[in-house]
Amino acid sequence: MYLSNQEERIVEGENGEGYASAMKLLVALGEMFDADKLIPITRAHWAVSGQEGDLFYAEKLANFGARTSVPTTTNPAWDGSLSDEFKVEVSDYELLLLRRTISASDKLGVIKSFSCTPYLYRDVPAAGEHTAFSESSATPYINSIYGAMTNRESSSSALAAGVIGKTPNYGLHLDKNRSPNIVVSVEFKIKDDFDFGLLGWYLGEILKPDDIPLIRGVEGNFSPEALRDFGAMINTSGAVSLFHIENFTPEAKKVKDFRRWLRGSERVSVREEDIASLKRKFTKASGKINSVYMGCPHSTVPEIMKVNSLLGNRKVHRDVKFLIFTSATNLKLIGEANAKKLKEKGVHLLRDSCVDEPVFKFTEGNLGVTNSLKAAYYRKRRNQDFVITSIENCVEAAVRGEI
């Protein structure tokens, strides 16, 4: 892989050990994937999670003086005040991990967005921009919905790219690698955002990691929430980092000759019974519930206000904790008055936090309800089962205290 004189000097330590370490990681990654050079990026997203695996490398860079050189946003860990709010015992080690996350973020000069959906409101690239995004919902959204370019970065490689301001030129940074190699025909009507998320999960299970699907047969204007969920699910049950939707996503809309674009592509169909079977699989449990989880990826303002509207004058059952995870930015947009109304109804709006954190131990070991297959996937390892269903059904279950 070609390195400029300046890049070679960084590797050799001219700018300090932190920058040298970041550059060495990018060079090793580029050589592994036969990149010809490094290319500049405009922005990055670091999927720090407040866990040891992410912090070891981040602290190494930070303690040796590295600082981000392009805007770099961060994934959520958890709000330290929640352990007091929910009266949860958090170990000294778990609390230390949170403090180390904040300290490393400050030293590195990253933007402490602490949100898994910064691409919806504050870290939005234009078509054709080269970026470095980790986080399972972010990568497909950046590539597919905006037509910008990123590979499926790890937490460490995205951070290294944010520090150097460059990334190896391989994979989805190359136009030749962004064409579809499989055509997905959707042979049923998608009724709502939840159905679209189920379609994403189903496709993630059947597609190979290198597959780039062109999806045909879906109609309508998709909400940002539907597109967010589709990408999150297809990149959680599988590893699909780019998809095209016929007549909708930017790169698909530019194609004049679809026959040439799709030459040699494999074909698969998704029927209504495929999604119905998946839905039965995730909704077969029933009984009393102790929690509702929304916001994996982070809930938007329209989703939060939808919960408020669906509840009306009703309240959440006294035995149920209704948890909505969102960003501090969204909480400001919602306003204190609306947040207070929701809290009076039994809905907790949680800022800057992820479902996969130790502070939510109080729901473990019991049945919950969620609209997110990704949330259920993460919480399963923390000894909690879920019924996965629509927001409407989540609200009704919260009021009744059972599903």
pLDDT band at 199 (very low <50, low <70, confident <90, very high): very high
pLDDT over 80 at 309, yes or no: yes
Please, what are the domains in the chain? 5-175 (3.30.499), 179-280 (no CATH), 284-400 (3.30.499.10)
pLDDT band at 242 (very low <50, low <70, confident <90, very high): very high
pLDDT over 90 at 16, yes or no: yes
pLDDT over 80 at 160, yes or no: yes
- Whether 165 and 69 have beta carbons less than 8 Å apart is answered as yes
Torsion sign over Cα 146, 152, 154, 159: negative
Pairing type for strands 266-271 and 182-187 reads parallel
Tell me what pLDDT residue 312 has: 97
Tell me what pLDDT residue 187 has: 96
pLDDT digits (tens, 9 = 90+) for 257-294: 888 888 778 999 999 999 999 988 888 889 999 999 99
- Whether 302 and 330 have beta carbons less than 8 Å apart is answered as no
Tell me what pLDDT residue 161 has: 98
Per the prediction, the chain carries an average pLDDT of: 95
According to DSSP, the residues that pair with 166 across neighbouring strands are: 40
pLDDT band at 243 (very low <50, low <70, confident <90, very high): very high
pLDDT band at 178 (very low <50, low <70, confident <90, very high): very high
Closest Cα partner for 72 from 159, 167, 169?
159
- The tokens describing 306, both together, are 């939808």
- Whether 169 and 38 have beta carbons less than 8 Å apart is answered as yes
Tell me what pLDDT residue 122 has: 78
Strand stretches in 236-278, DSSP E:
244-245, 266-271
The least confident of 34-38, 263-267, 301-305 is 263-267
The least confident of 10-14, 81-85, 343-347 is 81-85
pLDDT band at 385 (very low <50, low <70, confident <90, very high): very high
Across the chain, which distance is largest between two alpha carbons, in Å? 67
Q: Which pTM value belongs to this model? A: 0.95
Tell me what pLDDT residue 210 has: 86
The full DSSP string for 314-378 is ----TT-EEEEEE-HHHHHHH-HHHHHHHHHTTEEEEESB-SSSGGGGGGTTSEEEES-HHHHHH
pLDDT digits (tens, 9 = 90+) for 96-146: 999 999 999 999 999 999 999 999 987 899 999 999 999 999 999 999 999
Alpha-carbon distance 164 to 161, whole Å?
5
pLDDT digits (tens, 9 = 90+) for 321-365: 999 999 999 999 999 999 999 999 999 999 999 999 999 999 999
Cα 327 to Cα 83, 240, 248, 390: the distances in Å are 18, 25, 28, 21
